[in-house]
Amino acid sequence: MTARSGVWLVVMVVALVLVPVLIGSPFYVNLASQVLIYAILAMSLNLLVGFGGLTSLGHAAYLGFAAYVTIYLTTLAGFGQFSGALIALVATTGLAMLFGFLALRASGLGFLMITLALGQILWGLAFRWVSLTGGDNGLGGMQRPHPFGIDLGDPNAFYYFALCFFLVAFAGIALFVRSPFGHSLRGSRDQPRRMRALGYNVWFVQWCGFVYAGFWGAIAGILYAYYNQFVSPHALNLMTSAETLLMVIAGGAGTLFGPIVGAVLVVVLKNVVSAYIARWVMLLGAVFVMIVLFMPEGLVPGTTRWTKLALGRRRRAAGGGPGEATGTAAVQERSS
Amino acid sequence: MLRPGGILSALVLSAVLGTVGAQAQDNGPIKVGFLTVKSGALAAGGRQMEEGLKLCVDQHDGKMAGRKIDVITADTAGQPAVTKTKTQELVERDNVDVLIGPLAAFEALAIDDYIRKVKVPIISPSAAAEDLTQRKPNPWFVRAVGTSAQAHHPLGEYAAKDLGYKKIAIIADDFAFGHEIASGFQRVFKDNGGEIVQKLWPPLNTADYGSYITQIDPDVDAVFAAFAGGNGIKFLGQYRNYGMTKPVLGSMTTVDEGILKNMGDEALGVISAGWYSAGIDTPTNQAFVKAVRKAYGSDPGYYTVGAYMACQFLNNALEQVHGDVSDKQAFMKALRNVNIDKSPYGPVKIDDYGQPIMDIEIRKVEKKDGRLQNTVIKTYPAVSQFWTYDPKKFLAGPVYSRDYDGGGEKK
């Protein structure tokens, strides 16, 4: 990390901290909280899709499962807020271990189909096991916790609560990806046979990545439960999985910021733009088509590429050598 | 990995969010937040709701009790999480005085806690889940339609007493709405000496009902079919294609006017029950049906009339408080006190739980003037959501579900 990107990071954190002050309206603060929750979910899926090369269509499983367990334990089974959340976290991570064991028997399309099937099984259970899950009417009646006496019912307080988890998730995922283990995960994506020849257990590397992604999916699920105070099979359905995948791909799979931008894009289109444009689903489709046409690598890498291109052209016009610009671009390319 | 360009892009792209300041409201229009579904699988019902509401507002020239009515429509996409955000938007950003919506029961349940917290009156034009006005009544909630079972308790009695059926097979959509309808019918049918020989639960998205139709016991007197959305069209068509001749009893939504226009002769003779039928022969209803036909070219069904009536409830309550909605408690009390003599439903009152007491019509699909319609063959006046049961006893029992095994207590 260079000093300059360190400065940018500080700027980003300060901007995020100031969001409630800048926005003022509780509605938009709540929206920002939702963006943070979906960003955590998208970042966790990005571990699989972007860094592991494992496209999953069942990521809603962790969001929904964690949300169901949290709400069930705290409202119906009489657990405390902290123990309920902790059990949800452990149970969901355990679920990811099991799912990883099953899904990683295949790769590519096979992996996609198995994750899809596993996700649908959970959805079916939530829909049909009415005595436990409330069926399609869902589970509700949950209160937000009061950690250290702070009332999370307040939009600003909840935003900062979610922001803490978001920052920890971001740091946790960034460190993971930059660690030697993260490199081996990317290695298993790009050159699985060479990795095997080097003595890596590719299956185990991918499984660890899968479980780690499930862990952050569970965090997103617990926050989802706190935010909505309600969960129904919609949290588990294919739509939610597909939307999360869209966030990752639209923002830029395999980049740290891509999923966050994707989450902003989808949440804002779904919740804000739909108030002004009745055919917002069509707009969402058009936006994705534009992304695929002009920035097939996703918004974040795409914008970076276009910016570099524009800067390079200006530099060339000013008489500077093109070598420098292409050189940096090459470095960027390698690091992503 | 942490590239400045990437962060810059992230910041720029994240700045899409705009801010809109809260608007002042005093003696301006009354703001009505309308939660409907414009995208996704439920959009057809959502559009009919919009039509019903618009017709009602237009009939009042956009004014109720001397104040202008300002409807702000939001698309919930039929998803609970979006429904909650949209409700927050209407309440916190647009400062609405009253909400009408949402469409599905799970949407209404998703915002239930939020409504209690912000204390904004809400009129449900469609969501029929029993417990919203039974075991978990929300003091800010009033419903403008029946509960799932409200119309099907009388149908149970009608099937046993008037039609003389002894054995019936139930086939119903496998979700809460279907479970509640089937259980209500079963309870009263068994109370009147009938017997439910089997219950079949095809999933909501069943394409071919063949495997269920062939399971139906050949000894039954009739089949009670409770379907929602477009499933009634598929079921009735396939039922006739399989050569079944046993009479079909339907739930209100199986042969709803919204889908009846897409059916053929297979629907003829289906007897169903509902708190509404386009065929109710009162001047008020015929004027309403004529207005809907003129404006939208079709008969009003479940969703159209539900939203229309939600809007009439609002009008009635606003007249009680002379257009003053500043005292929310008084306004809510007025909503709970709605009393309409003449409406498309007939006379309507509200019970202590926020649920209308209405006439229930037994209807038969007939062909008139080249179109199918639900002709009223019997009316049960002033039916409560608890039918003839004692509310306290009724509420002490479990909510109607897939495994409901009640009925037959009194013979």
Judged by CB atoms closer than 8 Å, whether chains meet at B1 and A271 is answered as no
What is the pLDDT at residue B21? 32
Name the residue in chain B with its Cα closest to that of A22: B19
- pLDDT class of A26 with cuts at 50, 70, 90: confident
List the CATH number of the domain containing B364.
3.40.50.2300
Q: In this structure, are B79 and B115 located in the same domain?
A: yes
End-to-end Cα spacing for chain B: 76
How many distinct structural domains can be found in chain B?
2
Q: Of A162, A172, A177, nearest to A263 (Cα)?
A: A162
Q: What is the mean pLDDT of residues A113-131?
A: 91
Closest C-alpha among A246, A203, A209, A205 to residue A60: A246
Give percent of chain B above pLDDT 90.
65
**pLDDT of res. A327:** 41
- Beta bridge pairs of residue B123: B100, B142
* Cα distance between residue B229 and residue A108, in whole Å: 37
Are B247 and B314 in the same domain? no
Q: Nearest to residue B286, comparing CAs of B304, B273, B299? A: B299
User: Where do we find the tokens 């500077």?
Assistant: A320
Which residues in chain A have their CB less than 8 angstroms from residue B4's CB?
2, 4-5, 8
Return the pLDDT at A277. Answer: 79
Assigned domain for B295 exists? no
**Residue contact A8–B9, C-beta within 8 A:** no
- Would B401 be classed as within a structural domain? no
How far off is chain A from B109, nearest CA to CA, in Å? 7
The mean of the pLDDT values for chain B is 88
CA distance B378 to chain A (A): 33
Mean pLDDT of B47-65: 92
Both B64 and B119 in a single domain? yes
The mean predicted confidence, pLDDT, of chain A is 87
Domain holding B172, by residue range, is: 152-280+359-396
Q: How far is A105 from chain B (nearest CA, A)?
A: 30
At B123, list the tokens: 């009129």
What is the pLDDT, as a whole number, of residue B13?
Answer: 47
Count CB pairs under 8 A between chains A and B.
177
pLDDT of the residue at A326: 44
- Asked, for residue B292, whether it belongs to a domain, the answer is no
How many residues make up chain B in this entry? 411
DSSP A253: T
| Site from B36, B82, B85 to mutate, A interface, most A CB atoms within 10 angstroms | B85
d(CA B50, CA B292): 12
Q: Each residue of B132-159: pLDDT tens digit? A: 899 888 999 999 999 999 999 999 999 9
- Contacts B178 to A, Cβ<8 Å: none
Instruction: Return d(Cα B174, Cα B226) in angstroms, integer.
Output: 10
pLDDT in tens, B195-216: 999 999 998 888 899 999 999 9
For chain A, which residues make up each domain, given as ranges?
27-236
In a domain? residue B403: no
Give how far A173 is from chain B: nearest CA, Å: 12
Residues B216 and B190 in one domain: yes
Chain segment B359-374, per-residue pLDDT in tens: 999 999 999 888 898 9
If asked whether residues B267 and B381 sit together in one domain, one would say yes
Q: Does A127 touch chain B (CB under 8 A)?
A: yes
Q: Give the residue with greater pLDDT, A163 vs A323.
A: A163
- Between CA A163 and CA A223 the distance in angstroms is 11
Residues B379 and B245 in one domain: yes
Query: Which residues 197-226 of chain A have a CB within 8 Å of chain B?
Result: 224
Tell whether B410 is covered by a domain.
no
In a domain, B110, yes or no: yes
Query: How far is the C-alpha of B72 from the C-alpha of A275, rounded, in Å?
Result: 9
| Average pLDDT of the segment spanning B338-348 | 92
Mean pLDDT, range B10-16, rounded to an integer: 46
Contact B16/A268, CB-based, under 8 Å?
yes
Report the range of poorest mean pLDDT among A307-316, B97-106, B201-210.
A307-316
Query: Touching check for A136 and chain B: CB below 8 Å?
Result: yes
Predicted ipTM beyond 0.85: no
Measured between CA atoms, the residue of chain B closest to residue A230 is B110
Q: Do residues B223 and B309 both lie within one domain?
A: no
Which residues of chain B neighbour A260 with C-beta distances below 8 Å?
10, 14
Model confidence at B15: pLDDT above 80: no
Q: What's the pLDDT tens digit per position in A225-256?
A: 999 999 999 899 898 999 999 999 999 888 88
pLDDT above 60 for A258: yes
pLDDT at site B223:
95
Q: Do B257 and B307 share a domain, yes or no? A: no
Could you tell me the pLDDT band of residue B12, with boundaries at 50, 70 and 90? very low
Shared-domain flag, residues B136 and B115: yes
Question: What is the structure's pLDDT at A272?
Answer: 84
Using the beta-carbon criterion (under 8 Å), do B13 and A301 form an inter-chain contact? no
Each residue of A132-163: pLDDT tens digit?
Answer: 888 888 888 888 888 887 888 888 899 999 99
pLDDT value for A329: 41
What's the CA gap between A203 and A103, in Å, rounded?
11
The model's confidence at residue B41, banded by pLDDT at 50, 70 and 90, is: confident
Of A6, A23, A271, the CB nearest to B85: A271
Look at residue B103 and tell me if it is in a domain.
Answer: yes
Is the model more confident about B313 or about A142? B313
Same domain, B260 and B336: no
Would an 8 Å CB–CB cutoff place B409 in contact with chain A? no
- Per-residue pLDDT tens for A35-92? 999 999 999 999 999 999 899 999 999 999 999 999 999 988 888 888 999 999 999 9
Q: HEC string of chain B?
A: CCCHHHHHHHHHHHCCCCCCCCCCCCCCCEEEEEEECCCCCCHHHHHHHHHHHHHHHHHCCCEECCEEEEEEEEECCCCHHHHHHHHHHHHHHCCCCEEECCCCHHHHHHCHHHHHHHCCCEEECCCCCHHHHCCCCCCCEEECCCCCCCCHHHHHHHHHHHCCCCEEEEEECCCHHHHHHHHHHHHHHHHCCCEEEEEECCCCCCCCCHHHHCCCCCCCCEEEEECCCCHHHHHHHHHHHCCCCCCEEECCCCCCHHHHCCCCHHHCCCEEEECCCCCCCCHHHHHHHHHHHHHHCCCCCHHHHHHHHHHHHHHHHHHHCCCCCCCHHHHHHHHHCCEECCCCCCCEEECCCCCEEEEEEEEEEEEECCEEEEEEEEEEEEECCCCCCCHHHHHHCCCCCCCCCCCCCCC
Residues B128 and B213 in one domain: no
pLDDT for A2: 58
